[in-house]
Structure 1
Amino acid sequence: MTVVLAVVLTVLLSATALLALTRMYRGPSLLDRVVAADLLLATMIGAVGAEAAVNRHATSLPVLVVVSLLGFVGSVALVRFAVREES
């Protein structure tokens, strides 16, 4: 059961990451690329969280918190930069 769950999670997270990378490459605007980068970061956080859940350990929780905070601050900073550029 655990192996099947790990394979399904790997396939779904890989497909999500591939679609996010495609949007980052083809995105017509800066904001599309920012949203795709956020999605890719959320996918990576989900992958690390899923790995921790499957292997039943919580040692990666501080890393997940720091990465999610950095992603949030980076997204806000890029959006503020984009708004200033448009004005």
Structure 2
Amino acid sequence: MSGTEPALVDDAMVAAAVAVIALALLAFHRVIRGPTLPDRVVAVNGIGTATVVVLTFLAVGLDESGLLDIALVYALLNFLLSIGLAKYAIERGGFL
């Protein structure tokens, strides 16, 4: 090994994080435009999942293990948000 592989992997992880952020911004368009409540809920959940993925990529790429702890907590909060949004939608009259 020439020693350049770890730097290449780190750069690839950071680049992947940037790509996932760009895709999450596209999903944000669906949160704003809708057209239905289920579309918005799925988009919000997708953005939360993308956030967890970005934190994980950055943890590996920047060699910061603390970001993995943050990603785990955020994943649990994202799950609770999904449950809360579903409960709100059902109380409001269902998803349709």
In the superposition, the TM-score normalised over structure 1's length comes to 0.82
Q: Any idea what the Cα deviations from partners look like across 1:44-77, whole Å, max 9, x if unmatched?
A: 1111110111122311222112111111111111
3-state SS of 1:86 partner: coil
TM-superposed CA distance for 1:80, in Å, is 1.4
**Partner in structure 2 of residue 79 of structure 1:** 86
Name which of 20, 25, 32 aligns with 1:13: 20
Larger radius of gyration: 2
Q: More helix by proportion, 1 or 2?
A: 1
Give 1:30 deviation, angstroms. 1.8
RMSD: 1.9
Aligned to 1:62, the other structure's residue is in SS state helix
Residue number among 46, 52, 55 corresponding to 1:45 in the alignment: 52
- Aligned equivalents of 2:14, 2:61: Cα separation in 1: 11
Comparing 30-39 and 54-63, the one that deviates more: 54-63
| Count of residues in correspondence between the two structures | 87
Change (3 A) 1:38 1:53: same
Gaps of 5+ in 1: none
CA distance in structure 2 between the aligned counterparts of 1:62 and 1:76, rounded to whole angstroms: 22
Structure 2 alignment gaps of length 5 or more: 1-7
After the TM superposition, which parts of structure 1 deviate over 4 Å for at least 4 consecutive aligned residues? Answer: none
1:34 corresponds in structure 2 to 41
Seq. identity, %? 30
TM-score norm. by structure 2 comes to 0.76
Offset at 1:3? 6.2
